[in-house]
Structure 1
Amino acid sequence: MTDRLATEAGDEDGPPSGAVLGAPCWVSLAAHDLAATRAFYEAVLGWEFRPGGLGDGFAVAMSDGRPVAGIGAMAPTLGVATAWLPYFGVADPDDTASRVRERGGTVGVGPIPFPLGRAALLADSSGAAFGIWSGDLVRDWSGWHPEAKVGLRLVTRNAFDAAIFYGEVLGWTRPGGCDVRYENEEVILVCGGLAMARITSGAVEAAPDPDVRPHWQVQFTVDDVAECTRAALKRDGTVTGEWEDEAGRWATVRDAQGAQFTVFEPGGGALAG
C-alpha cells in the first residue's frame, strides 16, 4: 500500500531501495475452496486473476490491469477460518519476528522462504493477525497504493498501545520511515504523504465474535457498493453492515467461506484508508 515499498539499499533479501520500511505492502487471502473463492471475487469485485509466483494455485487478483491482492489455497490440515491478512515490508523478517516476541506478540508461521522472498505470519500483543514480507515480490508490486485502491484499518482495544507496538516492531518512526499522526480519534500511518493505514480503538475485550476482537480490516474501493452487495448475496455471501458518512458509502461483506472485507464507494470526501 505505498508508491514504493521497502528499505534502505543494500539488503539482498530485503525490499528494494527507494521504498518505505515498515509500510503495508500487500493483502492476501488463504481459502479452503480456491475455485469458489476466485469466482466470488470475480463476480463481486470484477477481479481477474493471473498466476502468481508463490506455488500451485496462488493467483494475483487484477483490477484495471493492476495487482490488488493475492489469493491462495489453505492447507487442508489447517482447520482455521479464512481471513484477509495485511503484509508489511521489512528488511529482516527474522529480526522483526524477534521484536514481535519481545513485545508480547506471537509468531504463528515462519519466517519461511518462498520463491520470491521470505514471509512470516504473526499476531500483535492484542491478537490481531498480520504478515511480514521481505523480497523481490515487493518490487513487482510497488505502486500498489493508491492505484489499487486498498485500505487498512486496525480495530483494537487501545489505538495508542497498538501504534507503539507496530512502530517499534516495524520501525515506523526511524529516519526515512513513516509518520504517525492522530486525527479524529484515530492513529494514522502516513508514508510519502499517503495515509497507509489507520488504527482505531473500539474492539471489545474477550468478545466471542472475532469481528469485534482486535483485527485488521481490509477495504476495497469500488464504483458501486449496492451492486457489490447484491452480487455477494447472490453468491452465498452475507452483508453484515452498511452505512454512509462524509467520505461515501460503506458495506461490510463476508464471502461464501466467511472471510470478511469492506467495500467503499467514494462520495465527495477523501479516499479512506
Structure 2
Amino acid sequence: MRVVRPVLGAPSWVSLIAGDLDVAQRFYGELLGWDFEHGPERLGPYVSVLADGVPVAGISGVAISAGTGVGWTPFFGVKDAHEAARRGVDRGGTIGVGPVSIDAGRIVIARDPDGASFGLWQGRAAGVGDPPRQTGVPDWIELRTADAFKAALFYGEVLDWDAAERCEVFYEHERVVLRVDGRSVAALRGLDRPASEDAPVETPRWQISFAAPDVDRAAARAVELGGRVVRRPMDTPYGRTTELADVEGGLFSLITPKARPSATAGE
C-alpha cells in the first residue's frame, strides 16, 4: 500500500481526520517514528506523513471545525471520481465530500450502505509491488461490516474490481480478500460479536493497520502516550495485531505481518 498515486480499484492512501493536528503529530510521531511535512491545505490544515522519507499517509486537522468525528479513512483508486461516486449513490451509498480537486487529483469521501466511511481518489496509476516491511507503513486494511458478501458486491461495483486488471477477489479465513499484483492488501469480514450483553455493538467501519515490529511493546507505548488499548494483542492469520485508540479516540491497528502471497508487480 505504500504508494503516492492510486492503483485502480485498490486501497492506495490512508488519511486521518484529527481534531488537533499538533496532538496527532505528537502521538503518532512518538509511536510510529513518523516525520511530517506540511502540505497545501486541502480541506483544511494538512500534513503528509513520512516513513523513512516516503509519504505513506496524511493527516487533516479539520474534525472540530467541520463537526466530524476523528478517524482514519482509506482511499481507493478510481478512473473517474464522478462516475464512481454516481455508482456508489445508485447502490445505496452516500457522498459526504466531493468530488473536489486537490493537488493530487480528485477525491470523494463517501459512506457505504451500512455507514462505513471510505474515499475515492482519481489520479495517475502507479505500481504497488511488495514494499519492505518497516514501522509505520500502512500494511493491511479490513472492513468490519454486517454482511461481508453484500459489502463486497457494493465495493466491487463501485470500484470496478472485475475490470481492474491488477485486482482479484477471493475468500479465505472467513474473509473476502482483495489481492493486488498477487499480494493480499485488504479484506472484508463480519462484525465481532459483543463480549457481553452490556458491551457496545460494533459499527461497520474500515480499520487501518500499520506495520510494527512488536505490537505488544507498541501497545504499551501507546498507553504511555495517552492512547488506549481497544483489543489486546492477538495472533491472526495475517499476523499479530492489536487495536488501539489515539489520544482523540481515533481507532487504528498495529500489525506484525506474516508473509502473505506475493507476485512481481506489473508496471
Fold shared, TM-score > 0.5 on shorter chain = yes
Q: Does 1:146 align with 2:123?
A: no
Give the counterpart of 2:14 among 27, 37, 58. Answer: 27
Moved more, 76-85 or 124-133: 76-85
How many Å separate the matches in 1 of 2:98 and 2:30?
A: 33
Query: What does residue 209 of structure 2 align with?
Result: 219
How many Å separate the matches in 2 of 1:52 and 1:164?
A: 36
Q: Does 1:233 align with 2:223?
A: yes
Give the counterpart of 1:160 among 143, 149, 154. Answer: 149
Q: Does 1:59 align with 2:47?
A: yes
Q: Does 1:108 align with 2:99?
A: no
Q: Does 1:179 align with 2:168?
A: yes
Contact 1:88 1:132 in 2 (8 A): yes
How many Å separate the matches in 2 of 1:234 and 1:158?
A: 36
Give the counterpart of 2:242 among 243, 248, 251. Answer: 251
Contact 2:144 2:191 in 1 (8 A): yes
Contact 2:241 2:254 in 1 (8 A): yes
How many residues are aligned here? Answer: 253
Query: What does residue 14 of structure 1 align with?
Result: none
How many Å separate the matches in 1 of 2:130 and 2:201?
A: 25
How many percent identity over aligned positions? 38
Deviation, 1:231, is 2.0
How many Å separate the matches in 1 of 2:199 and 2:22?
A: 27
Deviation, 1:223, is 1.1
Contact 2:177 2:184 in 1 (8 A): yes
How many Å separate the matches in 2 of 1:152 and 1:210?
A: 22
TM-score, reference length from structure 2 = 0.85
- Structure 1 residues 145, 75: closer, same or farther in 2, change over 3 A? farther
Give the counterpart of 1:131 among 119, 143, 146. Answer: 119
How many Å separate the matches in 1 of 2:69 and 2:201?
A: 12
Moved more, 214-223 or 59-68: 59-68
Query: What does residue 264 of structure 1 align with?
Result: 255
* Secondary structure of the structure 1 residue equivalent to 2:66: coil
Q: Which runs of 5+ in 2 are unaligned?
A: 262-267
How many Å separate the matches in 2 of 1:96 and 1:221?
A: 30
How many Å separate the matches in 2 of 1:167 and 1:198?
A: 12
How many Å separate the matches in 1 of 2:188 and 2:217?
A: 28
Q: Which runs of 5+ in 1 are unaligned?
A: 7-19
Contact 1:204 1:213 in 2 (8 A): no
